[in-house]
């Protein structure tokens, strides 16, 4: 299986002389897809002073203008002229490092382990909601649900879901 690599990329703004920072992960294998996917996560950060590596051409646009790849330091962080842009690129690299760790650790789990983690998280969320409702008065609960019968059915449903998730968890442990 191929190893997913996350990298920081730039995308030129159409209207201004600025670049958007985003993360790109490839190859990402998703269930139901035959081929690997490319995932992009925009970081809502803009830089205006990247330095370009004239020895690494990227492409030629439709007007015949040559574009270049950004210069990177020995850690792979994009080099910029301004201090704020450098800090923005360091932030982007830290987020990239987090995402890379997520992809690397996701490969360590089997499908059943992943299902178990998801079920535990769902059970925990249901218990949090149930406990939050338990500490409220009857009038507050009526405000939340507006229908007393629906509220009772919902609480019974949550209790039965929690019991079922505990049963499934015990079956996985066997």
Cα–Cα distance, 51 to 46 (Å, whole number)? 14
Provide CB contacts within 8 A for 63, sequence distance 6+.
Answer: none
Could you give the 3-state DSSP secondary structure of residue 137? coil
Cα–Cα distance, 157 to 132 (Å, whole number)? 16
Provide CB contacts within 8 A for 29, sequence distance 6+.
Answer: 1, 2, 4, 36, 37
End position of a domain, from candidates 49, 71, 106? 106
pLDDT of residue 74: 93
End position of a domain, from candidates 71, 87, 106? 106
Helix (H) or strand (E) holding 89: helix 83-106
Rounding to the nearest 10 degrees, give the CA dihedral for residues 158, 160, 165, 168. -170
End position of a domain, from candidates 106, 128, 160? 106
**pLDDT reading at 102 higher than 80:** yes
Rounding to the nearest 10 degrees, give the CA dihedral for residues 94, 96, 102, 103. -160
Q: What is the pLDDT of residues 14-30, one digit of tens each?
A: 899 999 999 999 998 88
Residue 20, token pair as written in the block: 């958007």
Question: In this structure, are 31 and 9 located in the same domain?
Answer: yes
Q: What is the pLDDT of residues 119-158, one digit of tens each?
A: 777 777 777 777 777 777 777 777 666 777 777 777 777 7
Question: In this structure, are 128 and 94 located in the same domain?
Answer: no
Domain that holds residue 19: 5-106
Question: In this structure, are 86 and 131 located in the same domain?
Answer: no
Cα–Cα distance, 38 to 122 (Å, whole number)? 28
Question: In this structure, are 102 and 16 located in the same domain?
Answer: yes
Q: What band does 42 get if pLDDT is binned at 50, 70 and 90?
A: very high
Question: In this structure, are 93 and 27 located in the same domain?
Answer: yes
pLDDT of residue 93: 93
Question: In this structure, are 37 and 78 located in the same domain?
Answer: yes
**pLDDT reading at 1 higher than 60:** no
Burial (CB count <10 Å: 0-12, 13-18, 19+), residue 78: buried
Question: In this structure, are 72 and 149 located in the same domain?
Answer: no
């Amino acid at each position: 299986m191929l190893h997913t690599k996350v990298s920081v990329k730039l995308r030129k703004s159409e209207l201004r002389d600025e670049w958007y920072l985003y993360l790109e992960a490839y190859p990402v294998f998703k269930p139901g897809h035959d081929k690997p996917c490319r995932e992009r996560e925009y970081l809502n950060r803009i830089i205006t002073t990247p330095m370009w590596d004239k020895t690494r051409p990227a492409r030629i646009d439709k007007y015949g203008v040559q574009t270049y790849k950004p210069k990177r330091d020995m850690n792979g962080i994009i080099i910029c002229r301004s201090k704020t842009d450098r800090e923005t690129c360091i932030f982007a690299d830290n987020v990239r490092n987090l995402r890379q760790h997520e992809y690397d650790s996701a490969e360590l789990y089997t499908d059943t382990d992943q299902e178990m983690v998801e079920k535990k998280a769902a059970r925990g969320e249901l218990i949090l909601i149930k406990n939050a409702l338990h500490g409220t008065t009857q009038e507050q609960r009526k405000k939340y649900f507006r229908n007393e019968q629906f509220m009772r059915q919902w609480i019974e449903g949550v209790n039965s879901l929690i019991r079922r998730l505990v049963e499934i968890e015990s079956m996985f442990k066997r």
